């Protein structure tokens, strides 16, 4: 597939972000773009670490491991659910620092503080915008803060698309040093050299929606083994596969198909409507949910959240978040557990991920993981109001 096939989507991403189309590169999945970035970092800057957060998906950390780099975790701010700017690990061996716009929360001023620290080193400032495609953290002049910004069109993100991702390379990064100039040149070449999807991958992407519907309607005794067989034969491209809970990438990085790019473009043309609908729902949550529950203070009406996070106060032994989750499920509503456990949906070998399972140096991370539940923002206004009433009822009885 030639780059011209992707030009309309690149143009739309550039239009949404006030950037240049030639600085956008597309992938089958956002994690493939991250892997390409980290692999190029390793080649250009050598062995080192990547500062990130444990309150994230395992697919955001695997690209670090696959590239031969080492994840190093900083604690998170409960209001932004991103790294605490003045505490994030940063030293001579740091190759990148990841700012995650968790759930779509854009805490620009805090991101700017961390970026200012990064600029005193060789590290790059990588923005994970997987939850808010087309949005970036910006400085006081409105310029993007990121050196690299990662966006997703994947499952359970802002758009109803199921595949696709993109990275943006800030052209100003070349001006930092000759080594950064080499990095940008090699990264562009690596992105241009990513393979096209194989025929079976293209077919699986087309069939995904119907496969999920079929698997969800089968009894678990039949659906679980069938799902595994389909995954092993590359006929079902699950959002996360078992090997990804073992420090590996789902597959060699690939481009999206033309069909995937067309689907993303179609949805991005109407993204303002999508954002508006989600903003209406999250406004109801923010205004009407009881303050017995903790709501991140950096949530703003101008943001469009993919999920609305709540933190349920109480001792870990009470398992309050899981009890609220079960209460809502029993009433016919579908909250989420992101990111409980850490490196969601969890890993068995914490040592492989260089993560202390006790979170001894990450007290905020530990508390938020133990207490999180997130509410859907793609609901109707009526259902959102029903969810609020149920959550407030539960909190009145249990908090």
State in words which class domain 270-398 has: alpha beta
- What pLDDT shows up at residue 1? 45
> What is the arrangement of strands in the sheet containing 49-52, beginning at the earlier edge strand?
24-27, 165-169, 148-152, 124-129, 94-100, 49-52, 70-73
Could you identify the residue written with the tokens 């790294």? Answer: 83
Secondary structure (3-state) at 215: helix
- What pLDDT shows up at residue 399? 84
Q: Number of C-alpha atoms within 13 angstroms, CB side, residue 74? A: 25
- What pLDDT shows up at residue 316? 60
* Neighbouring C-beta atoms of residue 302, cutoff 10 Å: 9
Residue 201: phi and psi, rounded to 5, are -70, -40
Which stretches of the chain score pLDDT less than 70? Answer: 1-3, 314-317
- CA 123/CA 144 separation, integer angstroms: 17
Q: Which of 176, 197, 133 is nearest to 5 (CA)?
A: 197
Q: Which fold has domain 3-192?
A: 3.40.640
pTM value?
0.96
Residue 129: phi and psi, rounded to 5, are -105, 30
Question: Where along the chain do its domains lie?
Answer: 3-192, 270-398
- CA 268/CA 152 separation, integer angstroms: 12
Please report how the helices 178-192 and 30-45 are oriented relative to each other, as an axis angle in degrees rounded to 10: 140
- What pLDDT shows up at residue 313? 78
Q: From residue 66, give the alpha-carbon distance in Å to each of 119, 128, 213, 253, 281.
A: 26, 18, 32, 11, 38
- What pLDDT shows up at residue 315? 56
- CA 80/CA 65 separation, integer angstroms: 26
């Amino acid at each position: 597939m030639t780059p011209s096939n992707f030009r309309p989507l690149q143009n739309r991403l550039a239009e949404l972000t006030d950037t240049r189309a030639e600085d956008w590169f597309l992938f089958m999945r956002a994690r493939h773009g991250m892997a390409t970035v980290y692999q190029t970092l390793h080649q250009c800057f050598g062995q080192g670490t990547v500062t990130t957060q444990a309150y994230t998906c395992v697919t955001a950390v695997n690209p670090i491991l696959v590239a031969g780099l080492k994840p190093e975790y900083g604690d998170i701010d409960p209001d932004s659910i991103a790294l605490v700017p003045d505490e994030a690990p940063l030293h001579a061996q740091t190759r990148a620092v990841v700012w995650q716009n968790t759930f779509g929360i854009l805490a620009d001023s805090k991101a700017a503080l961390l970026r200012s620290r990064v600029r005193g080193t060789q590290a790059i400032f990588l923005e994970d915008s997987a939850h808010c495609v087309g949005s970036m953290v910006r400085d006081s002049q409105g310029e993007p803060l990121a050196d690299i910004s990662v966006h997703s069109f994947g499952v359970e993100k802002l758009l109803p698309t199921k595949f696709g991702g993109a990275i943006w390379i800030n052209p100003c990064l070349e001006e930092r040093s000759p080594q950064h100039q080499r990095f940008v040149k090699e990264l562009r070449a690596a992105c241009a050299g990513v393979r096209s999807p194989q025929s079976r991958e293209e077919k699986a992407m087309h069939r995904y929606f119907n496969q999920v519907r079929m698997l969800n309607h089968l009894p678990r005794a039949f659906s679980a083994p069938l799902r595994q067989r389909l995954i092993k034969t590359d006929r079902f491209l699950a959002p996360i596969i078992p090997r990804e809970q073992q420090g590996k990438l789902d597959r060699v990085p690939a481009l999206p198909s033309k069909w995937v790019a067309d689907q993303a473009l179609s949805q991005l043309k109407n993204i303002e409507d999508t954002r508006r609908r989600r903003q209406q729902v999250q406004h109801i949550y923010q205004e009407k949910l009881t303050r017995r529950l903790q709501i991140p203070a950096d949530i703003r009406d101008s943001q469009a959240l993919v999920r609305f996070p709540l933190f349920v106060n109480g001792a870990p032994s009470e398992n309050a978040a899981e009890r609220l989750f079960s209460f809502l499920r029993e009433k016919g509503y579908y909250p989420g557990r992101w990111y409980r456990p850490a490196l969601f949906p969890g890993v068995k070998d914490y040592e492989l991920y260089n993560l202390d399972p006790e979170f001894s140096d990450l007290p905020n991370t530990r508390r938020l993981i133990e207490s999180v539940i997130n509410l859907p923002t793609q609901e109707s206004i009526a259902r959102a109001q029903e969810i609020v009433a149920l959550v407030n009822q539960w909190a009145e009885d249990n908090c």
